[in-house]
């Protein structure tokens, strides 16, 4: 199910859920590169940090 655009298949993506069951897309690349938002506005359609996931 595509919900977050490119992030759906990116190795840097991590899904975080809150206690109400909402799911947020956290970008792990933001930890090492401040150019990337922790919680990017989704869907992400273009991203220079995109790295295809093995999933
Ligand atoms: S690097 Fe880009 S495509 Fe990958 S999770 Fe972060 S914002 Fe999404």
Residues with Cβ within 8 Å of residue 32, at least 6 apart in sequence: none
pLDDT at 55 over 80: no
Kindly list the distances between the CA atom of residue 3 and the CA atoms of 6, 31, 43, in Å, as whole numbers in the listed order. Answer: 9, 23, 7
What mean pLDDT is predicted for residues 34-49? 96
At 8, phi and psi to the nearest 5? -55, -30
pLDDT at 16 over 70: yes
Place of tokens 């859920």: 17
Domains held by the chain: number: 1
What is the residue range of 43's domain?
A: 1-55
Q: Ligand 1, residues 5, 8, 13: which to mutate, most atoms within 8 A of Cβ?
A: 13
What mean pLDDT is predicted for residues 17-45? 96
Kindly state the percentage of the chain with pLDDT values over 90: 91
Q: Work out which ligand 1 atom sits closest to the CA atom of 48.
A: 2
Distance in angstroms (rounded) separating the CA atoms of residues 8 and 53? 9
């Amino acid at each position: 199910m595509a919900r977050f655009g490119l992030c759906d298949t990116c190795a840097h993506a991590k899904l975080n859920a809150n206690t109400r069951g909402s799911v947020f897309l956290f970008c792990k690349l933001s930890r090492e590169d401040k150019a990337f938002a922790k919680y990017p506005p989704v869907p992400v359609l273009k991203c220079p940090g995109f790295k295809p996931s093995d999933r």
